[in-house]
């Protein structure tokens, strides 16, 4: 039997809109693992918050991995061990904070356990509620960082066009320094250069000594497009963005609230 690896996004893909997991999805994942296949939770979230989802699902056994921070961290859930980490240079982080401040945009970064930002805003409240993460506020962002972080995120709750203008204005600046993408209509993210969920899949298959034709990737957002294109079988869930659907080999009949991942597992894994 040829073992496969399922790389699955969390929010609005594996998780329902209320952040729960359907029973059918849960059962399909455990059948897949019992059959000897692998799973990797591929998320923009930090390891700390994604690990809670993994624990709730019981995904802390051999064969369970995580591609966190949009590919900047590879994590072995069973061994509780970071396998690979890529970081943004501290001077790039500071520049992004300075640029965001001048543009009148909220911006945040992360250390190993907390979100870090410069002031308390409605964007912070919204994100903390969604991600269920602790936070620290520091006027000088460098004072709160223990080491170089894995990403920087700008948030605008109701003005995506403002984020789009920021991204476009800084495209030349980011070349060779970092890369940017939208992970939702409200989130513009900056990650280390040459880093994405796709590079996470490539690195993980090397570690597991598995061929790329054993990979299935599922997502819903623009930041999932690289891994959807890179995997042997790329899947977009029914509720995905048009860009994600256009990149996919298959679009699920069901959405994230109605067992889309169980559909993928039954069709492409088992």
Residue ranges of the domains in the chain?
5-86+195-269, 90-192
Q: What is the DSSP letter of 151?
A: -
pLDDT of residue 146: 86
pLDDT of residue 131: 85
Q: Which two tokens stand for residue 265?
A: 């597992």
Give the mean pLDDT of the chain: 95
Q: Which two tokens stand for residue 150?
A: 């894995």
Percent of the chain whose pLDDT exceeds 90: 90
Q: What is the mean pLDDT of residues 110-133?
A: 92
Percent of the chain whose pLDDT exceeds 70: 100
Measured distance CA(267)–CA(169) in Å, rounded: 43
Q: What is the mean pLDDT of residues 130-156?
A: 92
Q: What is the mean pLDDT of residues 211-240?
A: 97
The answer to whether the CB of 131 falls within 8 A of the CB of 171 is no
Confidence of residue 249 (pLDDT cuts 50, 70, 90): very high
Q: Is the pLDDT of residue 168 over 90?
A: yes
Q: Is the pLDDT of residue 112 over 90?
A: no
pLDDT of residue 253: 98
pLDDT of residue 93: 97
Q: Is the pLDDT of residue 232 over 80?
A: yes
Q: Is the pLDDT of residue 1 over 80?
A: no
CATH 3.40.50.1000 given to domain 5-86+195-269: yes
Comparing CA positions, the residue from 150, 142, 209, 199 lying closest to residue 178 is: 150
pLDDT of residue 161: 96
Measured distance CA(40)–CA(59) in Å, rounded: 9
pLDDT tens figures, 68-91: 999 999 999 999 999 999 999 999
Measured distance CA(25)–CA(45) in Å, rounded: 20
- Specify the CATH number of the domain 90-192: 3.30.1240.10
Measured distance CA(85)–CA(7) in Å, rounded: 18
The count of other CB atoms within 10 Å of the CB of residue 194 is 11
Q: Is the pLDDT of residue 234 over 70?
A: yes
Comparing CA positions, the residue from 106, 109, 132, 129 lying closest to residue 119 is: 106
Q: What is the mean pLDDT of residues 38-60?
A: 91
């Amino acid at each position: 039997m040829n073992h496969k690896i399922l790389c699955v996004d969390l929010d609005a893909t594996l998780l329902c809109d209320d952040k729960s997991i359907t029973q059918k999805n849960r059962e399909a994942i455990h059948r897949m693992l019992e059959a000897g296949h692998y799973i990797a939770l591929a998320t923009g979230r930090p390891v700390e918050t994604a690990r809670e989802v993994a624990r709730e699902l019981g995904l802390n056994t051999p064969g369970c991995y995580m591609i966190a921070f949009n590919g900047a961290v590879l994590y072995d859930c069973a061994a509780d061990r970071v396998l690979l980490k890529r970081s943004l240079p501290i001077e790039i982080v500071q520049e992004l904070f300075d640029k965001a401040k001048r543009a009148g945009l909220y911006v945040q970064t992360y250390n190993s356990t907390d979100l870090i930002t410069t002031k308390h805003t409605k964007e912070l409240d919204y994100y903390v509620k969604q991600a269920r993460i602790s936070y620290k506020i520091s006027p000088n962002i460098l004072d709160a960082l223990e080491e170089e972080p894995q990403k920087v995120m700008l948030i605008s709750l109701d003005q995506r066009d403002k984020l789009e203008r920021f991204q476009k204005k800084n495209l030349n600046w980011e070349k060779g320094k970092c890369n940017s993408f939208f992970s939702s209509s409200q989130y513009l993210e900056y990650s280390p250069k040459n880093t994405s969920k796709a590079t996470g899949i490539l690195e993980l298959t090397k570690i597991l000594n598995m061929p790329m034709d054993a990979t299935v990737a599922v997502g819903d957002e623009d930041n999932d497009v690289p891994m959807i294109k890179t995997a042997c079988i790329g899947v977009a869930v029914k509720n995905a963005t048009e860009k994600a659907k256009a990149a996919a080999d298959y679009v699920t009949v069901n959405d994230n609230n109605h067992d889309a991942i169980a559909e993928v597992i039954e069709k492409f894994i088992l």
